[in-house]
């Protein structure tokens, strides 16, 4: 059985300033062995092109989150976040 959750208490969504819709959720597969992935859907640009869907392991999703936070910190605060620091 596959369950996908996005845009709910178990997932989240946002729209960027350029109009792309980004949905974050997860997929859980139960057979034969349980497996879970974090999903990321990036909607098309204003011209209807460039849609993407990703399925990430929990470790990959964590690494991506750290990379996004580090880049955001550089732009917002002019500092590089130390790896693992929150």
- Count structural domains, the chain: 1
For residue 81, pLDDT over 80 is answered with no
In a domain, 67, yes or no: no
Non-local (6+) Cβ contacts of 11 within 8 A are: 5, 23, 24, 25, 26
Query: Containing domain of residue 52, as a range?
Result: 2-57
For residue 47, the model assigns a pLDDT of 83
For tokens 């098309």, the residue is 44
1-46 confidence digits (pLDDT tens): 445 555 455 678 889 888 899 999 998 888 788 889 999 999 998 8
In a domain, 18, yes or no: yes
């Amino acid at each position: 059985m596959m369950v996908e959750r996005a845009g709910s208490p178990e997932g989240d969504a946002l729209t960027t300033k350029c109009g792309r819709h980004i949905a974050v959720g997860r997929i859980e597969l139960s057979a034969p062995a349980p497996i879970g992935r974090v999903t990321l859907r990036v909607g098309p640009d204003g011209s209807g092109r460039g849609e993407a869907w990703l399925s990430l392991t929990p470790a990959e999703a964590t690494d991506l989150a750290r990379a996004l936070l580090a880049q955001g910190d550089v732009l917002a605060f002019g500092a590089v976040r130390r790896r693992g620091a929150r």
